[in-house]
Structure 1
Amino acid sequence: MNERPIILKQDLLEGLQSIGIEKGQSIMVHTSLSSFGYVCGGAQVIIEALLEGVGEEGTIMMPTQSWKNLDPSYGVHWEEPEKWWPLIREHWPAYDKDITPTNTMGAVAEMFRKWPGTLRSDHPARSVAAYGKNAKYLVSQHDLSDIFGETSPLAKLYEIDGYVLLLGTGYDKNTSLHLADVRANYPSKHMEENSSAMMVNGKREWVTYSTLYVDGEDFEEIGKAFEETMTVNKVSLGNAQLRFMKQRELVDFAIEWIEQYRK
């Protein structure tokens, strides 16, 4: 029987340093806590290591999506019978960035959204949270219809030449690839309507808005091709693999890949 490895905070700090984490960087982080083995201190020490790694002049950002706050017809309430959908639309709680929990973003992101000093964007279903020097800039004015596009936190990270860090996750979780979705031209690209519960002028409303259709089925293929061509710093830590890359390089590569291969 294989034993789970134990990961200490110092192991995390050394691992992050070995793949290029430095003071002052702004980094979008995707994490799977369970992938490591046993992390002594859990989500807390991972967040502490990340914040110490970039220092006071750096910024850490994570997805804190609450995608259950989308229309049931979108498939997000697949466990529930269709006859309940009208009730869900009428009674699902309005998004509150201080209260609304994440959905399947993992224990680290869920703790991070409540970390003292962390700021969270206003999007009711696709929010991000950030801590550090550039946090306010990154999460501000997250437009309802521009989830991953030119006014989004992802585009702002691109503007400041930020990074992407995958801690035990694959490219299927690499949100920055959605920015490439927005910028690429391909035949199946299209808009869709969705709805979320929000507070509007002090009143809960079920708000419908138009967004780009989110397509991530080929993200693992894009990631594999990217690693065959570009530089991705890697290190194993426990049972997890850490990957660190420049976000601009990833997005620019993905645009070309999508335009060449996506139908």
Structure 2
Amino acid sequence: MKSENRRIVLKEDLINGFKALGVMEGQQIIVHTSLNSLGFVCGGAQIVIEALLECAGENGTIMMPTQTWKNLDPSMGVHWEEPEEWHQIIRDNWPAYDKNITPTNTMGAVAEMLRTWPNARRSDHPARSFAAVGKNAEFLTKNHDLANIFGEDSPIGKLYQLDGYVMLIGVGYDKNTSIHLADAIAKYPSKHNEFNSSAMMVNGERRWVTYETLAVDGEDFEDIGRDFEKEHEVKIVTIGKATVRFMRQRDIVDYAIKWIEKNRK
């Protein structure tokens, strides 16, 4: 491919793009990102995080999902590529979640780097953790209850309390975990709980712990996002090859609550 048909993305391009979206000092932002969507980023995940932190400033916070959903019971399909006769072996031997060590599962290179960033904080949920860097990182990530993955006192619920923002870098609304908060709040007939299990450390010992939580999925999140953009302003810019969206979290959550209650059976 000829070089004139390609574009190199520098940190200044990211900063200029984020500022064009309306990112300002002191904002609390959850970011979902696909590094590959940007094209060639000179410096990779590191400069994406640096640009975000510089734009948010010392009073801002950057949060990302650092989920480890492979640490769920194999019967849920998370180990679909492995034979069923291995399921009990996995239950007995999967490493206990350690927020300082356990890598993310398919959360992307940027989220994987953020969890190890200096002064980063990561929540204790063994399958659905979040990591954050900045002024409110401790507040956002502490006391992430097993039974409350995405509810009102979860990291995304606390971001709602802080009147935070959502940024989607090269990904769609199906990756927008804030809509799960709407799912947790909304009332609809098919809403139900399920039992999850994960490997955890309990009193210094590895245990396979079962807990009850809301059954969630994102099958209609793209539909919610499409309809949301018909009624609400969403700032959109192109950085490199990626489409980047920026919105107030309360706007998308409040809209999604009404949408879910109207459309889900």
Regarding TM over 0.5, the answer is yes
- Superposed CA offset, 1:103-134 (max 9, x none): 00000000110111100000000000000000
Alpha-carbon RMSD = 0.8
Equivalent position of 1:25 in the other structure = 27
CA distance in 1, matches of 2:232, 2:44: 32
Q: Which residue of 1 aligns with 2:146?
A: 144
Q: Which amino acid aligns with 1:106?
A: G
Tell me which of 85, 90, 97 is aligned to 1:83. Answer: 85
Separation of aligned partners in 1, 2:175 and 2:164:
17
User: In the alignment, does 2:214 pair up with 1:212?
Assistant: yes
1:138-177 matched pairs, under 5 angstroms: 138-177=140-179
- What TM-score does the superposition give when structure 1 sets the normalisation length? 0.99
Match of 1:43 among 34, 37, 45: 45
Map 1:173-188 to 2 at 5 A: 173-188=175-190
Structure 1 unaligned residues grouped into runs of 5+: none
Q: Distance in 2 between matches of 1:227 and 1:112?
A: 29
| Equivalent residues in 2 for 1:111-122, closer than 5 Å | 111-122=113-124
Give, in angstroms, the shift of residue 150 of structure 1. 1.6
Give the one of 123, 126, 140 matched to 1:124. 126
What SS does the aligned partner of 2:100 have?
coil
Match of 2:193 in 1: 191
> In the aligned structure 2, how far is the partner of 1:21 from the partner of 1:91?
44
Q: Which amino acid aligns with 2:27?
A: Q
Distance 1:4 1:26 in 2: 33
The corresponding residue for 1:103 is 105
2:260 — aligned with what? Answer: 258
Q: CA deviation at 1:151?
A: 1.4
Matched residue type, 1:88: I
Runs of 4 or more above 3 Å deviation: 1-4
Counterpart CA distance in 1 for 2:19 and 2:156 is 24
Cα distance in 1 between the residues matched to 2:34 and 2:7: 15
Q: 1:113 corresponds to which letter in structure 2?
A: R
Matches of 1:53 and 1:124, distance apart in 2: 31
Equivalent in the alignment of 1:53: 55
Shift of 1:239: 1.1
Shift of 1:146: 0.3
- Cα distance in structure 2, aligned partners of 1:215 and 1:190: 12
Unaligned runs of 5+ in 2: none
Deviations 1:196-242 (A, max 9, x none): 00000000000000010012100000000011101111101111011
**What's the secondary structure of 1:100's corresponding residue?**
coil
Q: Distance in 2 between matches of 1:4 and 1:185?
A: 48
- SS where residue 214 of structure 1 aligns? coil
Q: What residue number does 1:221 align with?
A: 223
Amino acid at match of 2:211: Y
Could you tell me which amino acid in structure 2 is paired with residue 30 of structure 1? Answer: H
Instruction: Report the secondary structure of 2:127's partner residue.
Output: coil
- Aligned-pair identity in percent equals 67
| CA distance, structure 2, for counterparts of residue 83 and residue 5 of structure 1 | 48
